[in-house]
C-alpha cells in the first residue's frame, strides 16, 4: 500500500465484490446476541490506555463568533439530484482564523429525506472514512440498506469534507504517474531502490502542492469537524446525530471534543485512537493487517480451493515466498501493467477489509501462483480507486493530504524508516516492512502538520457509542477500547469477528444495538459483546 489510509468502508468492499464478478458472497453470519460470560476486557488486544503525553482536545465556544455567524445563517437550497435524494452546497471559511476574508470553500451535501415526516427525528450525518471517502457517494450507496425505522425517522445526510469528492477535490498526479507511484518497490534492498521510492514520494507531494494551492494547508480533521457544525446548524438540528466509520470515527470524536454540548446520538464504528502519534498508529495498523491475514489463512486452509497450503504456517510461508518472487520479477497480467510486489501486497490487504472478498483473494492467489497477476492487480486497483481508463479517484490524494496535516510525519528520512523496520516486522511479518516504508511520504509534505496526538474527553456530552471489531485490519480493536475509555460518556460495543467495522455488516446483535440507540437513545451497556 502506498498511502496510509485508515480504510475503505464496508460498502466499498461489497461494491468491489460486484465489480470483480463475485455476486452472492456475504460478509458473515447474523448473531443473535452477546456471547454469554464474555466481556470486552477478556478479548485479545483489549488495552484501553491512551498514549502517554497526549494532550486533551479543548472545546470551542458554544456560540459562533460574529465573524462566523454569516456561515451559520446560510439557507440551504435542496434540489432533486437522484431518485430519492436532494443535493445542496454551503460555504465555509478556508481558514477559521480568518473567516469572511473572501476565501471560502464550497462543500457539497446530499440527503435522503425522512420517510415519516410526521415523526421526523432530525438529520443523521454519515461519513464513510478514508480520510478521502466521499460521503455524498456513500449516502447514495448505503441509504437504502439502513433500518426502516432509521430511514423513516431521519434525513440521511452526507457531505464531502473539504478537499474530497465534490468539495474542492485535491488532485496530485496524472494517471500514468499514479501507476508508477503505486507500483514502486516498498521493500528497498539498496540505495537505488530507496532513491526511487523517495523520488515518487517527493513527486506526489510536489504535485499536490502545485494543484491544491492554499487549500492543502486547510484540510485538517479539526477544520472538517468545524464544517460539520456549520452543516448541523443549517439542517436545523440543535445537536449532531452522526454515524462515522473508520476515519469517520476520528472526525466524529474530534467534533465531540470541540462541541461536547452539541453531541446527540453519535456512533463511532471502527474507532481510531486520537492519542497515538503517526508512527505508533502505523505500527498498530500493520499488526491489524497481520491479525486479519491470520484469520483469512485459518479460514482458507479448511477449504478445498485454498491456494496457500493446509496449515496456517504454510499459508504464511507461501505468501512470503510470493512477495519475494515478485520483488525479483513482477508477474504479467491481462493489462500492460505487471503485478509488482507493492501492488500484490495492496491487493492482499484490500481483501482483508471484508470476508466478502476472501473468495476472490483465494482465486487471485491461485492464478498468481500459476503466473498470472491479474486478480491481485484488480484488487489493488479497487483499493486505489483506479478506473479502467487509467484515471484515479480523488480518495488517495485527499487521504495523504489529511493524514499529513493531522499528525507530524512518523519518519523524517529513510534512515528513520530503516531503524523502525525491525519493530514493524515483529508486529507484522507479512506486512510490516512495506507499511513502514509506506509511511515515509509525509516526510516530504509541502505544508507543516497542524495537528498533534490528543485525547478526547468530550465532558458533558450525551452517551457516545464506540463500536470495535476484534479482528479489524485497519482500525485495531485496541483503538476502540482506548477511545471509549477517553470519552467521559463513551459506551463500548464489541463485535468479536472479522472485517473492517461492524454496523450494517449483517450482524443482528450489532445492528439492533445501534438502531435502538439511534431511534430511542438507548445506548447498550458499556462492554457489551456481539459474536458471529
Positions marked active-site? 246, 472, 500
Supply the DSSP symbol for 64. Answer: P
* Cα→Cα distances 256→181, 253, 259, 275, 457, Å: 36, 5, 5, 15, 8
Closest CA to 383 of 349, 419, 408: 349
Q: What's the rounded Cα separation, in Å, for the pair 519 and 28?
A: 25
Q: What's the rounded Cα separation, in Å, for the pair 421 and 416?
A: 9
The DSSP code sequence of 270-333 is S---TTS-HHHHHHHHHHHHHHHHHHHHHHHTTSTT-TT-SSHHHHHHHHHHHHHHHHHSPBP-
Closest CA to 384 of 376, 374, 395: 395
Go through 113-140 and write b for each residue having 16 or more CB atoms within 10 A of its CB, e for each that does not.
bbbeeeeebbbbbbbbbbbbbbbbbbbb
Work out the angle between the directed axes of helices 175-183 and 341-351 (0-180°, nearest 10): 90
The DSSP code sequence of 187-244 is S--SHHHHHHHHHHHHHHHHHHHHHHGGGGGS--HHHHHHHHHHHHHHTT-SSEEEEE
Amino acid at each position: 500500500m502506498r498511502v496510509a489510509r485508515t480504510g475503505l468502508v464496508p460498502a466499498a468492499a461489497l461494491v468491489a465484490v460486484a465489480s470483480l464478478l463475485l455476486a452472492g458472497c456475504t460478509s458473515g453470519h447474523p448473531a443473535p446476541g452477546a456471547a454469554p460470560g464474555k466481556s470486552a476486557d477478556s478479548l485479545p488486544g483489549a488495552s484501553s490506555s491512551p498514549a502517554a503525553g497526549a494532550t486533551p482536545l479543548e472545546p470551542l465556544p458554544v456560540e459562533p463568533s460574529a465573524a462566523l455567524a454569516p456561515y451559520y445563517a446560510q439557507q440551504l437550497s435542496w434540489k432533486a439530484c437522484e431518485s430519492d435524494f436532494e443535493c445542496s452546497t454551503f460555504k465555509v471559511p478556508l481558514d477559521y482564523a480568518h473567516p469572511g476574508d473572501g476565501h471560502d470553500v464550497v462543500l457539497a451535501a446530499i440527503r435522503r429525506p425522512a420517510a415519516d415526516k410526521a415523526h421526523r427525528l432530525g438529520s443523521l450525518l454519515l461519513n464513510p472514512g478514508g480520510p478521502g471517502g466521499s460521503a455524498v457517494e456513500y449516502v447514495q450507496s448505503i441509504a437504502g440498506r439502513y433500518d426502516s425505522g432509521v430511514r423513516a425517522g431521519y434525513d440521511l445526510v452526507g457531505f464531502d469534507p473539504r478537499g474530497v469528492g465534490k468539495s474542492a477535490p485535491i488532485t496530485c498526479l496524472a494517471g500514468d504517474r499514479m501507476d508508477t507511484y503505486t507500483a514502486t518497490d516498498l521493500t528497498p534492498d539498496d540505495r537505488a531502490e530507496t532513491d526511487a521510492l523517495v523520488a515518487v514520494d517527493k513527486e506526489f507531494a510536489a504535485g499536490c502542492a502545485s494543484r491544491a494551492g492554499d487549500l492543502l494547508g486547510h484540510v485538517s480533521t479539526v477544520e472538517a469537524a468545524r464544517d460539520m457544525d456549520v452543516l448541523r446548524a443549517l439542517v436545523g438540528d440543535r445537536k449532531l446525530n452522526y454515524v462515522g466509520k473508520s476515519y469517520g470515527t476520528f472526525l466524529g470524536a474530534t467534533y465531540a471534543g470541540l462541541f461536547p454540548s452539541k453531541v446527540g446520538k453519535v456512533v463511532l464504528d471502527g474507532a481510531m485512537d486520537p492519542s497515538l502519534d503517526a508512527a505508533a498508529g502505523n505500527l498498530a495498523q500493520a499488526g491489524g493487517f497481520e491479525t486479519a491475514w491470520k484469520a483469512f489463512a485459518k479460514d482458507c486452509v479448511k477449504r478445498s480451493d485454498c491456494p496457500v497450503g493446509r496449515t496456517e504456517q504454510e499459508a504464511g510461508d507461501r505468501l512470503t515466498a510470493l512477495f519475494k518472487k515478485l520483488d525479483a520479477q513482477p508477474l504479467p497480467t491481462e493489462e500492460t501493467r505487471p503485478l509488482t510486489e507493492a501492488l500484490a501486497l495492496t491487493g492482499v490487504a484490500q481483501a482483508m477489509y471484508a470476508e466478502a472478498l476472501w473468495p476472490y483473494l483465494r482465486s487471485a492467489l491461485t492464478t498468481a501462483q500459476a503466473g498470472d497477476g491479474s486478480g491481485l492487480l484488480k484488487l489493488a486497483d479497487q483499493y486505489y480507486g483506479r478506473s479502467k481508463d487509467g484515471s484515479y479517484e480523488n480518495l488517495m490524494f485527499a487521504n495523504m493530504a489529511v493524514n499529513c496535516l493531522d499528525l507530524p510525519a512518523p519518519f523524517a528520512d529513510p534512515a528513520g524508516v530503516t531503524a523502525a523496520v525491525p519493530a514493524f516486522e515483529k508486529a507484522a511479518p507479512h506486512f510490516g516492512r512495506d507499511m513502514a516504508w509506506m509511511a515515509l511520504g509525509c516526510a516530504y509534505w509541502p505544508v507543516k502538520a497542524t495537528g498533534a496526538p490528543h485525547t478526547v474527553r468530550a465532558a458533558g456530552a450525551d452517551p457516545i457509542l464506540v463500536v470495535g471489531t476484534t479482528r479489524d485490519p485497519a482500525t485495531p480493536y485496541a483503538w476502540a477500547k482506548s477511545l471509549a475509555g477517553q470519552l467521559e460518556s463513551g459506551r463500548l460495543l464489541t463485535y468479536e469477528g472479522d472485517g473492517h467495522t461492524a454496523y450494517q455488516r449483517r450482524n443482528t446483535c450489532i445492528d439492533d444495538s445501534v438502531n435502538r440507540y439511534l431511534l430511542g437513545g438507548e445506548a447498550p451497556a458499556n462492554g457489551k459483546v456481539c459474536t458471529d
